């Protein structure tokens, strides 16, 4: 009878404890619900902020355990299922955080690699632009030098063109022929050698050969042309004087101007040879 009374007393005490624990668990579960309500009330932040872990609300005090005497004494300290049930959400959240961390690390590496690649590409383009600028400057300088040289050549050419017809008499000689003859005597050849030899390998000179013969009309002109042609032929064959440097004209019995400035007619057959030089063109060509 005494043992039964003790058991009933213990049972009533445990029942009161059970009621106390149930009220505490219900009170403890109220704030998360309010927090969840507040979170659901702000839809803008619900997508950005993750929901906090909620304490699972037990269905009853035993929460799946049999209310026997052993569980009554050991509950909930030695229940592996109870521990696993409370640790599973935390473990899932930790795994989720590990995945997010790994994903962020991969993104950071990708961004870093692309940044390095972009910087390298920008550096290469900068170097290429500098090289192009240097080449452009060199070409501009070369073009300026070429333009200056061309301007100098044009100025020299203009000067040469302006002085092409400015020939001056360098030397003169006269060769006489016997009447009716067109061949050159030894004395005539020596005189031609004396004026033609110094002109070897020179430029900017011309020969002016004028033939004179007594008589009248075409007969005198033809005779004067023949003796002038004989002088030209000797200069070309013996001294290789270019033909384009020799100007020949048969004057016939045209009056010639003397040193005193008076006109006189020719006495006998003769040829006047004048060497004309353009010293300005010669100096410009050098």
CA 61 to chain centroid, in Å, comes to: 85
Identify the CA nearest to 253 among candidates 240, 238, 239, 269. 269
What is the model's pLDDT at position 191?
Answer: 92
Check: CB of residue 198 under 8 Å from CB of residue 214.
Answer: no
Secondary structure (3-state) at 175: strand
Could you tell me which residues come within 8 angstroms of residue 82 by beta carbon, excluding any fewer than 6 positions away? 63, 65, 76
Answer CATH for 168-285 from 3.30.1330.60, 3.40.50.300, 1.10.10.10, 1.10.3720.10: 3.30.1330.60
Compute φ and ψ for 274, nearest 5 degrees.
Answer: -125, 135
For every one of its 286 residues, what pLDDT tens digit does the chain have, with 9 covering 90 and above?
556 556 555 665 555 555 444 444 444 444 444 443 344 444 444 444 566 656 555 555 545 555 555 555 555 554 567 667 767 888 888 888 899 999 999 999 999 999 998 999 999 999 999 999 999 999 999 999 999 988 888 887 776 666 556 778 888 899 999 888 889 999 999 999 999 999 888 888 999 999 999 888 899 999 999 999 999 999 999 999 999 999 999 998 888 665 555 666 667 899 999 999 887 655 555 5
Helix and strand tally (H, E) in the chain? 8, 6
What is the model's pLDDT at position 282?
Answer: 55
- Residue extents of the structural domains in the chain: 2-78, 100-162, 168-285
What is the model's pLDDT at position 105?
Answer: 92
Alpha-carbon distances of 89 from 29, 34, 47, 60, rounded to whole Å: 16, 20, 20, 20
What is the model's pLDDT at position 14?
Answer: 56
């Amino acid at each position: 009878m005494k043992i039964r009374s003790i058991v009933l007393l213990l049972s009533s005490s445990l029942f009161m404890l059970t009621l106390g624990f149930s009220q505490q668990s219900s009170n403890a579960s109220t704030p998360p619900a309010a927090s969840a309500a507040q979170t659901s009330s702000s839809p803008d932040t619900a997508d950005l902020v993750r929901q906090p872990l909620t304490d699972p609300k037990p269905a009853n005090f035993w929460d799946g355990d049999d209310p026997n005497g052993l569980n009554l004494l050991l509950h909930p300290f030695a229940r592996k299922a109870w521990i696993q049930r409370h640790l599973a959400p935390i473990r899932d959240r930790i795994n989720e955080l590990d995945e997010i961390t790994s994903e962020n690390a991969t993104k950071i590496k990708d961004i870093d690699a692309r940044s390095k690649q972009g910087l390298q590409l920008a550096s290469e383009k900068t170097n290429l632009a500098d090289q192009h600028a240097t080449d452009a400057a060199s070409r501009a300088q070369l073009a300026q030098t070429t333009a200056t040289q061309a301007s100098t050549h044009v100025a020299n050419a203009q000067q040469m063109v302006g002085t092409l017809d400015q020939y001056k008499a360098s030397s003169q000689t006269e060769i006489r022929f016997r009447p009716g003859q067109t061949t050159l005597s030894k004395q005539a050849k020596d005189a031609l050698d004396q004026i033609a030899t110094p002109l070897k390998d020179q430029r900017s000179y011309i020969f002016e050969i004028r033939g004179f013969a007594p008589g009248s009309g075409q007969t005198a002109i033809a005779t004067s042309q023949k003796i002038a042609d004989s002088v030209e032929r000797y200069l070309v064959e013996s001294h290789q004087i270019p033909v384009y440097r020799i100007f020949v004209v048969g004057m016939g019995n045209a009056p010639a101007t003397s040193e005193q400035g008076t006109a006189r007619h020719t006495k006998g057959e003769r040829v006047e040879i004048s060497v004309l030089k353009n010293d300005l063109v010669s100096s410009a060509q050098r």
